[in-house]
Amino acid sequence: MEFSHEPVLLKECIEGLNIRPNGIYVDCTVGGAGHSAEILKRLGPKGLLIGIDQDREALEAAEEKLRKTESKAKFIIIHENFENIRQILDEKRINAVDGVLLDLGVSSYQIEAEKRGFRYMDDAPLDMRMNQDSEFTAKELVNTWPKDEIARIIREYGEEKWAARIAEFICKARENQLIETTSQLVDIIKAAIPASARRKEGQHPAKRTFQAIRIAVNRELEVLENALPGIVESLNRGGRLCVITFHSLEDRIVKQFFRNKSGLCKCPPDFPKCVCNPVKQLKIITRKPIVPSEEELKRNHRARSAKLRIAEKL
């Protein structure tokens, strides 16, 4: 299957990065290189693009696309998790960069590749790994984690009100046989959620649970929280950070991080004066997140939940 992933909010990201022709830019989730190719086109002979991804298939597609891009700039492709951005740059002897892009969405290729087990519409192995080198899979999670922990992630990461009941049904089902496929898990989830609630929701009953398990398998929220401080540390003065999120949990983390780094006082409102001594490291460029236009949504329905936040290093 061809690695395809239409870049979300492409124009807005390119403008937000405020690209300098001789700068160094990092695409932390290079995917099929949709955003990266446009960054590379805007770089001159002294410019450098670094593309990071934990999916080897994505990196192969990205390298092929970037080689075909008309640009005199150099690029480097790295198989790694962007959580380790500071270590990656240190190994390349790069002190600071001029811009970083984070597109936190799952690619169309990853979703549609049945062997990856991301979709609740397919009958596929329970996998959900973004990094195929990782040993921990969705199958291991649903078959070994304690009931309370499964309920917690479904409730917190999937914002699913039937989390406790779904976890109970999962644990009961695995007593009889291993849960090995997406269709098995979907059937369990459907059985756990009352039919009246399923009809009322108007969406697939497994959507939230699958999201939650995917987030847990790939440590998505933990990785984001760990990565943001290193990214800011790695930016030159005036460097930009653009982050595209696709659900409220990610967006909340980014919004709060930007707020904390923008020098706003965190003292309780009844304090007579500020005692937290906030340090201002970032200027928030987007007071409200940028969302896709109606035109983009017509082209790409998967962009509907995307939000772009941009900040600049001071």
Binding residue ranges for S-adenosyl-L-methionine: 33-35, 53, 82, 103, 110
Burial class of residue 8 (count of CB atoms within 10 Å of its CB; 0-12, 13-18, 19+): buried
Total residue length of the chain: 314
Give the integer Cα–Cα distance in Å for 138 and 180: 9
Radius of gyration, alpha carbons of the chain: 21
Give the integer Cα–Cα distance in Å for 107 and 215: 14
Give the integer Cα–Cα distance in Å for 128 and 214: 6
Q: Which residues are annotated as a binding site?
A: 33-35, 53, 82, 103, 110
CB-side neighbour CA atoms (13 Å) of 50: 26
Nearest to 310 by CA among 263, 239, 241: 241
Question: What are the residue ranges of helices labelled H in the chain?
Answer: 10-17, 34-41, 56-67, 85-91, 108-112, 138-144, 147-158, 163-174, 182-192, 195-201, 207-217, 220-234, 248-261, 294-299
User: How far is the CA of 263 from the CAs of 232, 270, 277, 303, in angstroms?
Assistant: 14, 19, 8, 31
* 154 neighbors 166 (Cβ within 8 angstroms): yes
